[in-house]
Structure 1
Amino acid sequence: MAGQSGLGHEVSWVLAGRSRPPIFDGLKGNELVLISVRVLRALDEEFHLSRLFNYLSEKGVAGAAILGEIPDVGIEAADELNLPLFVLPEGTSLPELERNITKYIAENNQQLQHWNQEVYRQFTELAIEGKGIAAVAELLCKLSGKAVIVEDANFRARVRFTPDRSEVSSLVGITESRNGQHNSFTPEVSPVMDDNGPNSVLHNNLAILREWLHNKDLRASDPPLHTFEMASDGHPAMLQLTAPIIAQGTVAGYVSLLGSDFDRRQRVALSRAASALAIERAREMAVSAVEDKFQANVLDELLDGGFTSPDAIIERAKRLGYNLQLPYWVASFAFRQQEKSLRKKPLTIVLDGREMELDLPVSETMGRELQRLVEQESSRRNWATITRVRDDRFVVFFANTTGKEFGGPAEAKKVVMIFLERFANSYPDISVSAGLGRFYEGGVEGLPKQSAEAEKAVMMGLRLFGPGQLTYFGDLGVYRLLLTIGNNRELREFYQEVLGRLLEHDSRNGGELIRTLEAYFRYQSSPSEMAKNIKVHRNTLLYRLRRIQDITGFDLEDSETSLALHLALRIQEVLGEKK
């Protein structure tokens, strides 16, 4: 009679209305209630069915079967509430009907239990035998008669089956990485992706998904299910019933059924499939962890120069799928929270009495996304890349797959800028900085030096130019010489010996003598040029220059003295002492 849109409601029990208040006691949801209009009128001549339907809807009742005439206002109320109404034939015995339906539900539950056990057996066998994710998804498709999609934790499609096809319509082998911390194999068919990221119902409902998962007890053996509405674009509404894949205590992916409605058997099949997929993902993650440990050792030896034989490291890298005979460049990326997006003070450390801002560590999730962006650009441009996460750095080796070298530093800088801009666009609240080392002939033996230079370049770039810039080590001039001096203690002693008295004077008096000395060298010792550019009167500058000579005892016109002062100012920047 009404509520057709609610016909997909699951019925878990049946309950007939009593002849005395309360009419319905102990409603828990999903019941089919049996109602006699005559009994209702006997209890209260003014009784309104519309109010009863509102109450039943609030309790989550699946539907109502009515014995007697239903007024139009009651039908309208049931339609608005999506509460299915069924009219029973005159003379129907509600107690007898209740017994028969109860018997049917019990028998159906027993059959469902047998189904549950059989489905559990089939999925468990697949998981034990290690048949793989595609086999589990295919079985789920056959058992449910619905389209199936399995996604990784970043909402990228791994496998997809439809009921009318016996083969995978999209298969992407994505596991933990060998490039840094995560790994992806070349897909047989491209995943459902666009330039802006995953084309996924879950990704488009990210806030709802996170809230749902946050409020659930996540267990691999009994994962929760949730229904998401898919964009229809004018077509009949479609739903996606999703279960998380829980492996090693975390959400390692999602498996979903697609359709207009889902019955209890399909829900059971999805839940059991998610448990089997959890075993498969745990196996993948365990294998990947071993591979990653081997991979990390190889790349760390490559970056640090810890290998004993070039031929040996080339062979070990080859086992990981890396061709170290290509002419690689090395870039290092650092990440800091942008000031405009800071909600609290950035993470800092006090070193030698001075507060220094720390770079953001690269998390596992962030490492995955950075690697994905690198791989996406590399596949478009025919580049070979190797990536490695090292605490607060993301290191990228890049080369032409043809073996042809990039056309010098200018072209290599363009490559790094492409990566830097992709990273910055993906993380708008983070400033991304990059350092590029110089290219060295000689293959792998030059890579450790390149790596060290890339790290020094990004560090000096942050100090000299601030975050968000690319710094090429070859452009650092005198700073390259200072950075190659491994003994910071010697640099600091020289710095204090030359500038210590001026630093103490400025600190004690709030003076500007160090700033004046900087301007003196920047504008070729010309007080007139200094006055014009730093907006200080020429006589004031001449006074300050005399004070500098009085305090230090140095003659600013002496060439050796000038060189020492100039170097000390540059050391100040290398040590990060410049305010």
Structure 2
Amino acid sequence: MAEPSTSAGLSPVTSGFTEINQENRTLRDLVEIYRHLSGLALQDADIGTVAQLIARRTEVTVAVISQKMGILAAASPGESYENSVQYVHDHLIHPRLAHLLAMAGKTRRAMRLPDPTRGRARIVAPILVADTVPAYLVSLVADAPEQGEDIHLLIAEHAATICGVILARERVISSAGSQVRDDLIEGLLSGSGRDHDEVVRWAHHLGFDGERDHRVLSVVIEAPPGDSERSRLVAERAAGATARLFVAQSPDAITAVRAREVIIVLSEPATPATGIRADQLGALCVQRLGALFPDVGVSIGIGGAFREPAHIARSYEEARRTNEAVRRLGRRGAVVAFDSLGISRLLLQVPDPEALREFATDILGAVLRHEQEHHVKYVTTLKSYFQENSSPRRAGERLHVHPNTVTYRVRRVEEITGLDLDNYRDRLAAQVALEILEALGEAGL
């Protein structure tokens, strides 16, 4: 009787040895791939290198896909990176993929998902970083092969583990780099550099352009009323949105986000192509945040211009003081430049705004107690009169009224208040009172 034979015409013994040899080769290949993958974790490799290794050793297309189905890395045997990305985009990225990724993320295990219509399968392995799944390793393999199915699963699972190690390392490096950057910014804002050269080096590392003028902006974020966790989170989101807005409008901006303050070192003009200035960009910020976070209060102080990095601390102090004074006066949503304050630089240093208000009321209170329409006319005319060096003609041109009207209103102010505006002291007191009213945002100025 003839011996039984295999479909290939081999004896059972020969066939058994062939299968064992094949399994041994497969195991050796698996161990070799594991060794190479583990070596990548010890090197300065990225997830793209992992994808390339798997594609080369297993002859399959591999991609690393983010939670939002963005392609973080891709590799196909014998193809360029660009072609590999396009292939993955055409054959992997599909609305149904989101469901498959969610399934793998929930089980935290590699899964084989057949696609009989295309004669292949997707292997999806979640990439874990701590307790989160920021991405997935996905490979396209032959559908239901006679052998090697478990091997592809094992390789994908191990590769996903290595990708998790690499991503975790990148996060640590990124966090450390961000901390160094924050430390440099804080050093410049505080003026703690030991010498001029050190400050210049710090600024250079942050991308400071010493050939252009700059200003420091202090953006203070006021959380919605209440001490709830939601209020705190809303304020944090508003602060982050503020920093992103400035960087989007002026990519070379240097930003620092604190608990209740966003600090921006901004070149002048903020956007050279359009000529937008720091105060204009600040007004845009207030407008955008008002639309996005209507319950959040925002005020912006702008420091003086400078070109030397050593003057960053001075400009920041000016911006901070301006912002503090403006907020103390209750001018929510204001964008105020230190340069524009004039004598208000001194007035705004008075600790109690009510003391300023009392002074202005003592000087011009009789005018302010008139009907709104009249007192606004009187105060506005008086301001223009002073601005035009007591010239009724020029003040009239500014206000679009006859010079006699200006003279009449000025005389009425003198009659109502008892001031003699030809007297130096009375004139000075009236001018200071007007500055206070403007700083307080009162009297229609």
TM-score, normalized by length of structure 1? Answer: 0.46
Whole-Å Cα distance in 2 between the matches of residues 308 and 224 of structure 1?
54
CA distance in 1 between partners of 2:317 and 2:100 (Å): 40
What is the aligned counterpart of 2:129 among 247, 252, 255? 247
| Cα shift readout 1:79-111 (whole Å, capped 9, x = no counterpart) | xxxxxxxxxxxxxxxxxxxxxxxxxxxxx9999
- Aligned counterpart, 1:448: 313
> In proportion to residue count, which structure has more helix?
2
- Measure the CA separation in 2 of the matches of 1:136 and 1:364: 37
Match for 2:224 among 344, 347, 354?
347
- Report matched runs for 1:160-559 at 5 Å: 160-165=74-79, 168-169=81-82, 212=102, 222=108, 243-257=125-139, 265-318=151-204, 320=205, 322-323=207-208, 325-330=210-215, 332=217, 334=219, 347-348=224-225, 360-362=235-237, 373=248, 378=251, 384-399=252-267, 413=276, 429-430=292-293, 436-441=302-307, 443-454=308-319, 460=326, 467=333, 471=335, 473=337, 477=340, 479=341, 481-483=343-345, 487-496=349-358, 498=360, 520-522=378-380, 524=382, 559=427
Give the number of aligned pairs.
Answer: 373
Give the whole-Å Cα distance in 2 for the aligned partners of 1:512 and 1:117.
93
Partner-residue secondary structure (3-state), 2:305: coil
The 8 Å contact of residues 156 and 200 in structure 1, kept in 2 or not, is answered as: no
Q: Which runs of 5+ in 2 are unaligned?
A: 1-21, 385-411
Q: Secondary structure at the match of 2:128?
A: strand
Give a deviation string over 1:384-415, Cα, whole Å, max 9, x none.
4433333344444455xxxxx85999965358
Contact 2:112 / 2:153 at 8 angstroms: preserved in 1? no
Tell me the CA shift for residue 495 of structure 1.
Answer: 3.3
- The answer to whether the Cα contact below 8 Å between 1:115 and 1:265 also exists between their aligned partners in 2 is no
Q: How much identity, in percent, do the aligned residues show? A: 14
* Alpha-carbon distance in 1 for matches of 2:24, 2:328: 68
CA distance in 1, matches of 2:255, 2:27: 49
For 2:332 and 2:96, how far apart are their aligned partners in 1? 34
Residue 280 of structure 1, CA deviation? 1.1
Deviation at 1:279, TM superposition (A): 0.9
Counterpart of 1:246 in structure 2: which amino acid? L
Q: State the distance in 1 between where 2:92 and 2:217 align.
A: 33
Distance 1:169 1:481, change over 3 A: farther
- Asked whether the 8 Å contact 1:127–1:279 carries over to 2, the reply is yes
Shift of the 419–392 alpha-carbon distance from structure 1 to 2, 3 Å rule, reads same
CA distance in 2, matches of 1:369, 1:150: 27
- Corresponding residue of 1:133: 47
Task: Output the aligned Cα RMSD.
Answer: 6.3
- Is residue 223–residue 271 contact of structure 1 (8 Å, CA) maintained in 2? yes
The answer to whether the 8 Å contact 1:123/1:273 transfers is yes
Q: Residues 368 and 525 from structure 1, CA distance in 2 versus in 1: closer, same or farther, beyond 3 angstroms?
A: closer
For residue 139 of structure 1, report the CA deviation from its aligned partner: 1.9
Confirm or deny: 8 A CA contact 2:120 2:141 kept in the other structure: yes
Q: Is the 8 A contact 1:335 1:359 kept in 2?
A: no
Distance change >3 Å, CA 457–CA 489, structure 1 → 2: closer
In 2: Cα distance, 1:424 partner to 1:317 partner: 30
Shift of 1:312: 0.7
Report the secondary structure of 2:192's partner residue: coil
- Partner Cα distance (2:157, 2:141) in 1: 16
Change (3 A) 1:289 1:250: same
Q: Secondary structure at the match of 2:236?
A: coil
Q: 1:223 to 1:291 in 2, by over 3 A?
A: farther
Contact 1:495 1:571 in 2 (8 A): no
